[in-house]
Structure 1
Amino acid sequence: MHVAMMPNGRVVFLDKVEDYTHLSVSDEQYAYSSEYDPITNTAVPLTYRTNAFCSGGSFLADGTLVNVGGNAPLKWLDPTVGDGFRGLRYLSRSLEDASRDGASWEEPGNLLNTARWYASVQTMPDGTVFVASGSLNGLTPAKPKNNNATYEVLDARGQTLGESIPMSLLKKAQPYYIKNSEIFNVADNETVKQLPELSGDYRTYPNTGGSVLLPLSSENDWSPDVVICGGGAYQDFTSPTDPSCGRIRPLDDEAAWEMDSMPEGRVMVEGTLLPDGTVLWVNGAQKGAQGFELADTPAYQALIYDPAAPLGQRWTHGASSDIPRLYHSVALLLLDGTLLIAGSNPFEMPVQEASASSPFITDFRVEIYTPPYLSGANGNRRPTGVMLSTISLSANSETFTVTFTAPDDAQAVKIALYHGGFVTHSVHMSHRMLFLDSEGWVAGARQQRLIVTMPPNSNVAPPGPYVVYVVVDGVPSIGQFVMVA
C-alpha cells in the first residue's frame, strides 16, 4: 500500500492492520511493515504502534521518512496497534552506517494537529513539511462533514506547528480536487494564481490517475512542467476510465493545459520518472475505480512517455506482466535503474484464493520491470566505477566531481539527481528528478572526470536524500545515494 526507498538502498513497505501477512513479528502478531532488500530478495518485519492505513509521507532533510495520518484501530484484531488518524511515525536509515538497518518505526507520541486519512504530503524548500487534506473519520471525503479541508505544517523535525489552516481549494472543489488547481504560497497562506480547469474525467480518489513533475534542468530554467494522466467518472465497478492527459507549465504567464492521450484509459495508473528522462506508467485497471473490489480489466502493459517528443508521438508500449496490480499496488525506481512493482490488495482483509466473485487476489509478489535502456546489449553498457567527491551536497550552485568508466564508443552523458519520494495510491509524494549541468565529458574516452554543478536553490531541490545516476547514451549507472541540504 505504501513504499519508499531508504538511504541504505533498501525498500520499506507499509500497510494496514490485517488478519494475514507473510511476515510476523511474534507468534500472535502479523507484521504490517517490512524492510525489503531488492538485491537478496529478503525482508525483515517492522512494527508500528498506530494504524497506518492510507497514510501519507515524505522525507525530512536529515533523511528520516515521516509517515503521516492513518485510520482507526482494529482492537478486535490487534489490540497492540492504536488509533492512527493523527499518527506520526518515523523511520531512519543511514547512507554509511548499517546499525539502524532492520529497526522498527519510532512513534514518540507527538501527533498531527487534526485527523487525516488519505493526507497529501510535500517536503518544502526550508525543510518543513506541508500536510494537506484527508478524511477526519475514515469515511468518504465526498461528504463535507468528513472532509478535512485544511493544511498543517510540520517543522524540520517532523513535528506539527499545531495549527490546521483552512484552504479554500480543498473546500470549493469537493469532492474531486484535481479538476481545479492553483499555485499556493504556504508561507503567506494565500493563493498566488488559479490555473485553468483540467478537462476530462476526475483524476483523484476514487478515480485516481497519475501525476508527474517532469525533469527539471537549466535548459528549462528549472521551471516546473507537470503531466496528469488517467482517471474515471464515478466510484463503481462499471465506471469507464479516461485515457486523456493534461500537461501544464504552471509558472508560465498564460499557463494552459496541453491535452494528450494514453493508448488506453486507466484508473490507478502511476507514473515514475526514469533516469533517462522518460516516464514509465504502470499498474491500474481499464474499468472501475478505487475501493474494495471496484475495478476490472487489469492494465498489464507498461507505457513509456517521452516528454521531449512532439505531441502525438510521446507514447510507446513497454513489456507486459501477467499479474493484476489493482487497488493498493505500488511502483518505485531502484538504485540499479529497474522498477520495483508490488502489491494489489482490493479487499478489506487479504484474499488468497481466486473465485468467480473475487477473481483478483491479494498479491504478495514483488516484480521487477527492466526498462528498455537496460534490455539486451544495453545492460552491458552501464557506466561503472562511479565515484563522487562528496555525498553531502547543497542546492546552491556548488560543484562536485564525478569519475567513472564509460564504454569506449560513448557519445553523451547526463547526470540525474533523483528523489523517489513516498509512494501510495498512485501518488508519488515529493517525487522529482533534476538533470545537472556538467563539464569535462570527452566522447569516446573510457575514463571520465566531470565537474557537476548543483541546482541554484532549494526551491528546485528541497533538502533530503537523493540518488545520483550517471546516464551515458541513455543507460544509467548504479545509483549513489547523497544528502542534499
Structure 2
Amino acid sequence: MIFTNLKHICAARYASQLLLPNGNFILVGGRRSFSYEYIPKEGEASKKSFFFPFLYETSDIDENNLYPFVHLSTDGNVFIFSNNRSLLLNPTTNKVVRTFPVLPGGSRNYPASGMSALLPIDLNAAADANGIKAEVIVCGGNVPDAFQLAETKKTFLPALDDCNRLIITEKKPKWDKELMPSKRTMGDALVLPNGQILFINGAQKGTAAWWDADEPNYTPVIYNSEKPKGQRFKVLMATEIARMYHSTSAVLPNGKIWVGGSNTHNNYRNLDRFPTETRVEAFSPPYLNKDFDKYRPTIDETTLTKELKYGELFELEFSVEDGAELTKNDIKVTMYAPPFTTHGVSMGQKLLVLKNDGIINVSQRTFRIKVVNPPSNLIAPPGYYLLFVVHRGLPGKGAWVHIQ
C-alpha cells in the first residue's frame, strides 16, 4: 500500500495520516496542500482530494500548520488540530461536525512543533458504545513568529511549557490547562502500555528546521492523566544526547522506548555543537525497574486468541511471580495501536483499556481474565495491536493480536 500510493504521499510533504474505521487512510495537509484525501487499500488509487479551507485559514507567515494533529474520535469522526484551532470532520460525509475553542498561547504544529496524543480510552467507563469518552492533549510548541526569528536572526525564543486537554466528545468542551516541568518543542508524546504518557526529546528554545533550535531538552517526563491536577508530572533521569530536529522514539513490545536520531543540519556533520546523531538508546520507564519484576505479569500466549472479533468476550491466562490474590481492580488489559512516527508526531497512536469481565485464580501464580473486545471499528480500526496485561501499573511484555 505504501509503494502503490507513493506519488500521493510525496506530493504532500509534512502531511499527517490516520487509519480510518473502513481500513483506508486519510491524508491531511502538507506544505502548500490545503486539502485532504483518502488513501485506499493496496491496488487502488486515490480518486480525488478535498479542498480544506481550515488548513489555509490556520497557515500563518511561518506555516505552523504542518503535520496537523489528527486523531480518531470514538464516534468515527476525525479530530484535526492545526496551529491553534481544531475541529471534528465526518470522513463519510466530509462535513465539519463541530468546531472547538481556539487554544491560546501560541502555535502547536510544525515548525513550532508541539506534541499531541489521544488519552487512553477506557471501555469500562461507558454504559454502552455510544457513551465512550475521547480526550486529547496538546502540549508545548512556540509562539507564531518563533521560526522566522530563528531562521533570519538565529534568535531562539523559549518554547511553550503548557499542556492542554479537551474532551472532544462533549458538545461544548473547554480547554483545561496546566504547566509542564520544562519547556518543549519538537518533543515526542508516547502513550505507554499502562496508560501514562511519556514526553521525551526536543528542545527548550527555537523551533524545528535546520539550525533553528537551542538548549536541548534532555529530561523525559511522565504524565499520569488519571491523577489530580498538580500531581500528574514526574521528571525522570536525563539523557546526555541531544535529540532535536529529526529525532524520534517508539514504544517496543517489551515496554521499553526506542530513541534515535537528531540532525539539525541539511547534511551529515560529525563535528558540530549538535552533530548528526547516529547513536540510539533504549529508555526504560519507571515500570521496568528490576525491583518490580516479581510483580510483572507474563501472558501465556498459548491461551491467547490472536484473531479477535469486535464485541466478543475472550479469555487469556497470565502469571505473576508474587501475585497473591489478585482482584479485578488490580489488572488492566490494554490494546496499543503502534503509530507511524516522524518529526515528533505519532500518527494513529491509540491505547484502549478493554472492558474487564472478571478474574479467576487458576493456581498459586496463574490467573485467567475475561475481557471484551472493542465494540466496533469506530473504536479500533481493523489491524494489528499490541495487547498488554498491566498489574497495578506494571505492564508485562506485549503480544500481537489482530482485530477485524
TM-score (norm 2): 0.86
Q: 102, 105, 126: which one pairs with 2:22? A: 126
- 2:92 is aligned with 1:174: no
Matches within 5 A, 1:226-375: 226-233=136-143, 234-235=146-147, 236=150, 237=154, 238-354=156-272, 359-375=273-289
Q: 366, 371, 376: which one pairs with 1:447? A: 366
Aligned residue type for 1:429: M
CA distance in 1, matches of 2:304, 2:258: 29
Unaligned regions of 5+ residues in structure 1, if any?
A: 1-65, 67-88, 90-106, 136-146
| Native 8 Å contact 1:383 1:476 kept in 2 | yes
CA distance in 1, matches of 2:23, 2:382: 6
Report deviation, 1:256. 0.9
Report deviation, 1:423. 0.6
CA distance in 2, matches of 1:110, 1:423: 17
Report deviation, 1:161. 2.5
Equivalent residue number for residue 224 of structure 1: 134
Q: Would the alpha carbon gap of residues 410 and 169 (structure 1) be closer, same or farther in structure 2, given more than 3 Å must change?
A: farther
- 2:118 is aligned with 1:209: no
Equivalent residue number for residue 74 of structure 2: none
**RMSD, matched Cα:** 1.8
Matches within 5 A, 1:401-480: 401-406=315-320, 407-409=322-324, 411=326, 412-442=330-360, 445-480=364-399
Matches within 5 A, 1:22-37: none
Q: Would the alpha carbon gap of residues 209 and 114 (structure 1) be closer, same or farther in structure 2, given more than 3 Å must change?
A: closer
| Native 8 Å contact 2:140 2:163 kept in 1 | yes
State the secondary structure of the residue aligned to 2:291: helix
CA distance in 2, matches of 1:449, 1:409: 14
- 2:387 is aligned with 1:482: no
Matches within 5 A, 1:126-165: 126-135=22-31, 147-157=32-42, 159-165=44-50
State the secondary structure of the residue aligned to 1:112: helix
CA distance in 2, matches of 1:260, 1:209: 15
Aligned residue type for 2:393: G
State the secondary structure of the residue aligned to 2:253: coil
State the secondary structure of the residue aligned to 1:368: strand
Task: Name whichever of 118-127 and 382-391 sits farther off.
Answer: 382-391
Aligned residue type for 2:18: Q
Aligned residue type for 2:21: P
Matches within 5 A, 1:64-83: none
Equivalent residue number for residue 8 of structure 2: 112
Report deviation, 1:438. 2.3
Q: Deviations over 1:455-479 (max 9, x none)?
A: 1111111111100011112111111
State the secondary structure of the residue aligned to 1:319: coil
Equivalent residue number for residue 194 of structure 1: 99
State the secondary structure of the residue aligned to 1:256: coil
State the secondary structure of the residue aligned to 1:111: helix
CA distance in 2, matches of 1:225, 1:417: 17
Report the identity percentage: 31
Report deviation, 1:164. 1.1
Q: Deviations over 1:43-69 (max 9, x none)?
A: xxxxxxxxxxxxxxxxxxxxxxx5xxx
CA distance in 2, matches of 1:339, 1:329: 13
Aligned residue type for 2:400: F
State the secondary structure of the residue aligned to 1:301: coil
Aligned residue pairs, count: 365
Aligned residue type for 2:41: A
TM-score (norm 1): 0.72
CA distance in 2, matches of 1:109, 1:427: 21
* Runs of 4+ with deviation above 4 angstroms: 442-445
Q: Which has the higher helix share?
A: 2
Q: Would the alpha carbon gap of residues 158 and 118 (structure 1) be closer, same or farther in structure 2, given more than 3 Å must change?
A: farther
